[in-house]
Structure 1
Amino acid sequence: MTTQTEQTVVARDLRSALRLVRERFGADALILETRSRQRPLAGALRMAEEIEVRVALPGAAGRMSEPGTPLAAEIARLESLLAVVETELDARESGRYPLATPLGELGLLPETLARLAADHAEEVPPVEQAKHGPALDRLALALPCLEAMAVADLRGYHALLGAPGVGRSALAAKLCARAAAAGASAVHIALAPAHGGERHRLEALAIAGGHEAVLAPDAGGLCEALRFFERRDLVIVDMPAFSLDQRALLERAAAQAGVPMLLRHAVLAADGWARFAPGLQEAAHYLAITRVDLADPLRLALDLTRDGAPLLSFVAGGTALGSTLELAQPAGLLAGLRSSLRPVRAEAGAGR
């Protein structure tokens, strides 16, 4: 039990806990006990690790004769220990996947890390400890993305996931614009509540990109749009965080419209819907997924995959959601739109 002359501080790691103790109680406070504890983390697959530090306040009666460690000395000792550990981690990670150790500390399985490393080795630059600070601090903003990637990888499918609100419609519009520039007729169908401002925004993007865009407020609107745009080379259906109900809605709309889906576009966010991705892969010719870059959580990207293999990628540099998107693999666009989509159309036409 904590008395009036004792205080307890809880933080995510020991270094943070010691800093809080120093700020609140001064350098003369005595550390009586440190212990780690876990608590469930809402919406996550892991437990939150916390450090609890019990301290005696400076001048506390009956405490000066008890064993204790001056805070300044304890901080110096622990910071020295952390420096040694970080040096060892750097040496151990030399020539290896740079995020292996911090992700291992988060409880992700080694085989998962190995597969992620093999899939995305070129995307993850070397970690510079001295420049960027502690590894776990660097990863904090990307942890939801990394957890979802690990779950996807364990279940045997390819997925690069991003955070919610990364600008799904802007990425879809850019994909349509690049398709139009490659000579394909493209349309962007956004499934979203009817809103005049959003409709005008999508239309403005379409005019600038040389493609078409329509806002479908419900299943009926989606069905009508699919039927109207049947002869387009590229049809992107832009939907919010996918659920099984929304997938069924897309399937029903395509069936009612009587059109084959030449390109089914599903954009996933790392907000808990990753578990539906295997079903989406089976239902789609293509799967496009927004993600954040592991090295810079504010760097957006969109990956288009076919049968689990990357086809092309868009990358947005900088922190602004409206920043210019660059096509990372220009050859993939022609390969995907002309070599793959047109044969699919021919097969669909022959079967009708």
Structure 2
Amino acid sequence: MATGSNSRRAPDGGPVVIAAPSLATAHRRIRERFGDDAVILSTRSITRRHELGLGQDHGVEVVVQPPGAPGIGGRSGLPSFAPASDAAIPPELLVEIERIESLVEQVAAEYERGRADESWLSRDPAAAALLAAGAAPATVRRLQARCAAALGRAVRDTGELRAWLATQLRASNCGWEGFYGCHAFLGDSGCGRSDLVLAAATRLQARGRRTLVLAALPADPGYVHRLQEVAAAGGYDAAVVNEARHLTDAEQHLAEYDAVLVELPRLDHPAMALGGALHAWLAPHAGFHRHLVVAADRDPADQPDLSAAARDWNCDWVAFSRVDRTRRPGKLLDLLESVPLAVSLVGRDPLHGGDLTVGASTDLAAMVLPPAAASAGRIDRGVLR
């Protein structure tokens, strides 16, 4: 709907500038306001910063000469323009614009219909597969709507949805060869972060990386003995930091290592209080990656504080542990809806013969929607450092 905020007229009553989020919307506003005899003089793409926040809005501006307005061809040397209904936009483009608009309306209608009819989701094979994997109906509806909008049509089958998910699920995608630098791991009690940290250190050291594990303020004295045993077996260095201020003192030695892994106390530990010494040191630290460790066998609905923790600690990544214990991998999609971070590590009881892998988008999609045959194709590899 055209408003005063998205159009402006030249002082002499000449051309009008119509702003809109898309060319189709701009053309519709022109027809609604001026009819088919308006003349389109020019079109350009625009990008504006949000008034609040860090994002940007993208759109178009169309300069229009309303019917009966003074012509500008003689004053500016511009050639004559045909009315918008005849030549400004080719007929085939108008047909395509109308098709896209119709599709968007159809997707929106189906989305709203699904909100009121849960059985509608279960009748769709791709949606039913996500539901069977444990994803919440609300998550399935959102993913279906996004996928249909991206493809320009409804999803045909589970394989097509899996392929699309692989392009949407963010992960490090770098393999162990790209995993180095300083990393801090935090999470709830019992989330499996200790196993994740120790197993990651063993794998990095085995690949020739000089590795250090720092245990920050461990609450259990037995953990120190365990750390010493596992570190000795893995061949990497380990140290215990009993006061947050000592982490600052240790920074000067971190550059001696290819990889530094810091295990933080559980989130509800007094030392993890927001604004405390540990939080003040780590949350804004540009030299550290911060990983929120989440147990895959816990329902995200029962962990409503995870998104706040990711925000408060300025987390860059989410790491999944205990994946071997869940029968509902689709719940990970629910988590990524509320904690939209890239996946760094995926652990399946790595200290007791299980696997620990660096997050890969194709593997995550296959874990949620297992293919009948092995997944094919490779993705671009980045570096996590």
TM over 0.5: no
Q: TM-score, normalised to structure 1's length?
A: 0.42
- Bigger Cα Rg: 2
Q: TM-score, normalised to structure 2's length?
A: 0.39
Highest relative contact order (Cα 8 Å, sep 6+), 1 or 2?
A: 2
